[in-house]
Structure 1
Amino acid sequence: MEHKEDKKRNKGGRPKKGATEKLKYRVAVKLAAADYFRLLTQAHEAGVSPSEYMRECFRNGHVKERVSEEHAGHIRQLCGMANNLNQLAHKANAGGFSEVRWDCKVAVARIHELISKTGI
């Protein structure tokens, strides 16, 4: 009886991939030196491995570049500011807009500054 319970118990670790998710086929491609180094350069610029770059090209016809660390930091700051604006909106609804007017102006100015930095 104990052995059956042990088999049902989750042992942890990463779940097994399904048959459609496994990368089990290998394709050999011969490239000229210029093409090979172009592949390495473009994969590096996109922030992915050459194999992943080729898979993305095959799936989508193009490779989407990863978000840079700088942009990721700006996005995190914008999320925090959005949370602050929500708190100010709740405060304004509860106690009147005149109490939080200056705080709202400051928050909007900081958000505008971050958006202009990211180039959105």
Structure 2
Amino acid sequence: MNPTEPLKKKGGRPPSQTKRDQQMTVCLTKLEKLAIQRRAQKAGLNLSDYGRQMVLTGKAQVRLSAEENATLNQVAKLGNNLNQLAHKANADGIRSIAFEAQRLLRQLSDLLDKPAAP
């Protein structure tokens, strides 16, 4: 490598400081293993993560579905818009943002009132 060439930075997620190098074996029947695999899949976790969470805390942190994630992102965007309106209201007066604020609040209400998927 030429000393005048810039060093290329490695991209991606940095390696974890905590290495999981210890193993624990559990004996199960085929039916028990299948039941645990289904629960892990339903929680959106791989078998190792699901088992670790269940052993350490007694419950598994279920991942959000794609629909729940999309709704959460929409709520965050609306919150950002409301924050921008609050700044404008402070600068220009409350009357300058009245209609836009009502529209955004109606949108937020519709999102929050949407029935949850079973």
Q: TM bucket by the smaller chain?
A: 0.7 to 0.9
| Counterpart check, 1:54 vs 2:51 | yes
Amino acid at match of 2:83: N
1:42 and 2:12 are equivalent in the alignment: no
Using the size of structure 1 for normalisation, the TM-score is 0.79
- In structure 1, the residue matched to 2:113 is 116
- CA distance 1:117–1:98, change in 2 (3 Å): same
- Comparing 85-94 with 63-72, greater Cα deviation is found at 85-94
> CA 1:16–1:82 in structure 2 vs 1: closer, same or farther (change >3 Å)?
closer
Which residue is 1:106 aligned to?
103
Moved more, 56-65 or 26-35: 26-35
Q: Which has the higher contact order (CA 8 A, sep 6+)?
A: 1
- Shift in Å at residue 118 of structure 1? 6.3
Amino acid at match of 2:53: E
**What's the TM-score once normalised by structure 2's chain length?**
0.81
Q: Counterpart of 2:10 in structure 1: which amino acid?
A: G
Q: Which runs of 5+ in 1 are unaligned?
A: 1-8
Q: Give the structure with the higher percent helix.
A: 1
Whole-angstrom CA distance in 2 between matches of 1:111 and 1:44:
31
Partner in structure 2 of residue 24 of structure 1: 21
